[in-house]
Amino acid sequence: MSFPHALILPGLGGSGPGHWQNWLAGELARHGGSVDVPEFTAPDQPRLDVWLDELRGHLAAVPASSAHERVVVAHSLACLLWLHHAAGEVDEASRVDRVLLVAPPAPDFDGEPLIREFLHPVLDPTTVRRAAVSTRVVVGEGDPHCSLAEAKELAEALRVDLDVVVGGGHLNADAGYGSWAAVLKWVRSGRTPLTPR
């Protein structure tokens, strides 16, 4: 089985060297996969309009070959970025096959002033399906940025499947997610549900 093209979207502050997104990019590249990890402008001072333009530029550069699936793996703030993208004018050519939204902040999370512009995205299942054939949300139990109740509300509003990782927290390096075999399996094959590392 060939690897899909993976667009890996980091959140606020980017993904440090110990983060599973960098591990995932390395694993995909090591096996000959095509991978793109954007470095968004001012990762510590994000601007929604700037990041949206950059995201759409990377989507436009994704190979359109029918031989490879096109998948997006977003973490944290990048999940809200994806929802804003989906609610905008989505060119059919930029539609991807699968999207994994990992540890999204609650859409109305008020604990971080730096992400204020990204809050309150449109939660419309029609726009989400227009941007990707399938979308899945995975959250960690105990995530300080999104309670399980908020995660369930998000998944229900979008009409997408939700995986809950027991004790996963924010599913980042601080929570022990440096390597994560389940997410690599999902990128390769869409295997679900997403399980702990």
d(CA 119, CA 156): 18
In the predicted model, is pLDDT for residue 192 greater than 90? no
Q: What's the confidence (pLDDT) of residue 65? A: 65
Is there a contact between 143 and 169 (Cβ–Cβ < 8 Å)? yes
Split at pLDDT 50, 70, 90, the class of 92 is confident
In a domain, 17, yes or no: yes
Tokens of 9: 């979207």
CATH number of the domain to which 87 belongs: 3.40.50.1820
In the predicted model, is pLDDT for residue 157 greater than 90? yes
> Which domain covers residue 80, as residue numbers?
5-189
Q: What's the confidence (pLDDT) of residue 66? A: 60
**110-153 residue pLDDT tens:** 989 999 999 999 999 999 999 999 999 999 999 999 999 999 99
In a domain, 38, yes or no: yes
In a domain, 194, yes or no: no
In a domain, 111, yes or no: yes
Q: What's the confidence (pLDDT) of residue 17? A: 87
In a domain, 76, yes or no: yes
Mean pLDDT of all residues in 13-40: 93
Q: What's the confidence (pLDDT) of residue 154? A: 98
Is there a contact between 128 and 160 (Cβ–Cβ < 8 Å)? yes
Average pLDDT of the chain, as a whole number: 94
**Count of domains observed in the chain:** 1
Tokens of 195: 């399980």
Whether omega for the bond prior to residue 193 falls within 30 degrees of 0, making it cis, is: yes
In a domain, 196, yes or no: no
d(CA 137, CA 118): 18
Tokens of 26: 């390395």
Split at pLDDT 50, 70, 90, the class of 91 is confident
What are residue 36's DSSP bridge partners? 7
Split at pLDDT 50, 70, 90, the class of 78 is very high
Q: How many CB atoms lie within 10 A of CB 74?
A: 26
In the chain, % helix, strand, coil (3-state, to 5) comes to 40, 20, 45
In a domain, 195, yes or no: no
Residues in the chain: 197
In a domain, 197, yes or no: no
